[in-house]
Amino acid sequence: MSDALLEVQGLRAAHGQLVAVRDLGFSIARGEVVALIGANGAGKTTLLRCLAGVHPSAAGRVTLAGTDITALLAHQRVRRGLAMVPEGRRLFDDMSVRENLRVAGDHGRPGDWTLPRVLEALPALPPIIDRPAGALSGGQRQAAAIGRALMTNPDVLLLDEVSLGLSPLAVEEVYRNLASLREAGRTSLLLVEQDLSRAMAFADRVLCLREGRIVLQGPAESLTREAVTAAYFGVE
């Protein structure tokens, strides 16, 4: 028995005829931070959506804390401790950040991530807690979306393109929030990050996808930038 929290075996997913994720296997340990990198169309979003249960898998097995969750629907996976911060960060714009967080809390599972703890872990949130989500800046929306996912008490948090469309300052802020989350140590992160330098600096481990396959993986500090760039672009 491995000490993997999330274990993926032989995972396959398609969009019609197009196979986007091909027989993928990897695992993530508790508290580990894994960056998922790869060029446009490599299959990163499809993989995350599959893991979250919002895109069907055609084959394979996903295990969370030893339980097979392959057949579970998205909301059932949330209740088991797997939450996703989607690209585009859908929030209820008419509701305050506080209300958005509360609704998420009602749909998750009980645990240590109460509102006070989430506000402590994400310093961007207290000043905006009573603002309508529709009035937030991009970075604030991202922090609110992360907070919302935490309210479900996930063991594994999937984050798609956390920095997409944000100003450099907002990106720094989002990563400061993720860093304090990592400090807390109880949540594993699988995050899609286009910025290779940032991915390698922030993650414990890097997974590089190309054409739906893992073409390189390893501890971030053991991979050279050259090897990662070659895998990313498919240069032999």
Beta carbons of 173 and 124 less than 8 angstroms apart: yes
Name the burial class of residue 31, with classes exposed (0-12), middle (13-18) and buried (19+) by CB atoms within 10 angstroms of its CB. Answer: middle
The correct pick among 18, 58, 169, 201 for binding ligand ATP (CB under 6 A) is: 18
Q: Give bridge partners of residue 91 from the DSSP assignment.
A: none
Exposure string for 163-193, b = 16+ CB within 10 A, e = fewer: beebeeebbebbbebbeebbeeeebbbbbbb
Closest to ligand ATP by CB, 160 vs 173, is 160
Structure tokens at 191: 């995050």
Nearest approach, Cβ of residue 215 and ligand ATP (Å):
13
Nearest approach, Cβ of residue 70 and ligand ATP (Å):
19
> Is 20 among the residues that bind ligand ATP (CB under 6 A)?
yes
Q: Are strands 205-210 and 213-219 parallel, antiparallel or unpaired?
A: antiparallel
The correct pick among 31, 41, 86, 138 for binding ligand ATP (CB under 6 A) is: 41
Q: Which stretch binds ligand ATP (CB under 6 A): 13-21, 88-96, 108-116, 132-140?
A: 13-21
Which residue has 């949130």 as its token pair?
A: 125
Closest to ligand ATP by CB, 155 vs 161, is 161
Total residues contacting ligand ATP (rule CB under 6 A)? 11
Q: Which stretch binds ligand ATP (CB under 6 A): 41-49, 68-76, 94-102, 129-137?
A: 41-49
The correct pick among 38, 60, 108, 147 for binding ligand ATP (CB under 6 A) is: 38
Closest to ligand ATP by CB, 38 vs 81, is 38
Structure tokens at 22: 């091909």
> Is 222 among the residues that bind ligand ATP (CB under 6 A)?
no
Nearest approach, Cβ of residue 46 and ligand ATP (Å):
3
Distance CA 236, CA 234 (A): 6
> Is 152 among the residues that bind ligand ATP (CB under 6 A)?
no
User: Crossing angle for the helix pair 138-150 and 97-107, nearest 10 degrees?
Assistant: 30
Q: Are strands 156-159 and 82-85 parallel, antiparallel or unpaired?
A: parallel
Q: Which stretch binds ligand ATP (CB under 6 A): 3-11, 43-51, 77-85, 101-109?
A: 43-51
Beta carbons of 177 and 194 less than 8 angstroms apart: no
The correct pick among 5, 8, 26, 43 for binding ligand ATP (CB under 6 A) is: 43
| Binders of ligand ATP in range 46-65 (CB under 6 A) | 46
Q: Which residues bind ligand ATP (CB under 6 A)?
A: 15, 18, 20, 38, 40-46
